[in-house]
């Protein structure tokens, strides 16, 4: 239930910021953020009430999902020595050849 409380705390903060701000764009931004956090809190409350999170299939028990992820990361996008994703080395329409 901790996450629901955190979401609702953010709703209160953004509602207060919206009420204090005089700039219409900022006011709308804060109002939108409060609404999004309110929706997240409601969704989380529903998940807890219906135990929807208990029905998630673990990847180990879902071979089809595991197979669909087998090609990630795409070859050439990961530096295996560092274990990080890299930028593309060749841009559109250009290539460098090293001898």
Domain regions of the chain by residue span: 2-68
pLDDT in tens, 53-65: 655 555 455 555 5
- Reported as a pLDDT band with limits 50, 70 and 90, residue 88 is low
What percent of the chain is modeled with pLDDT above 90?
36
- 71 membership: H or E segment, kind and range: none
Whole-model pTM: value is 0.52
Q: Which two tokens stand for residue 43?
A: 């969704």
pLDDT in tens, 5-28: 999 999 999 999 999 999 999 999
Name the nearest CA neighbour of 18 among 27, 5, 29, 10: 27
Q: If 0-12 CB within 10 Å is exposed, 13-18 middle and 19+ buried, where does residue 92 land?
A: exposed
Q: Give residue for tokens 């309110």.
A: 38
């Amino acid at each position: 239930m901790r996450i629901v409380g955190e979401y609702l705390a953010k709703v209160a903060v953004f509602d207060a910021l919206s009420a204090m701000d005089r700039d219409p764009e900022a006011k709308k931004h804060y109002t939108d953020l409060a609404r999004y956090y309110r929706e997240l809190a409601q969704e989380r409350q529903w998940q807890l009430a219906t135990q929807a999170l208990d029905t998630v299939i673990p990847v180990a028990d879902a071979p089809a999902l595991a197979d669909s992820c087998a090609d990630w990361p795409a070859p050439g996008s990961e530096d295996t020595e560092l274990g990080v994703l890299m930028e593309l080395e060749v841009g559109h329409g250009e290539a460098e050849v090293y001898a």
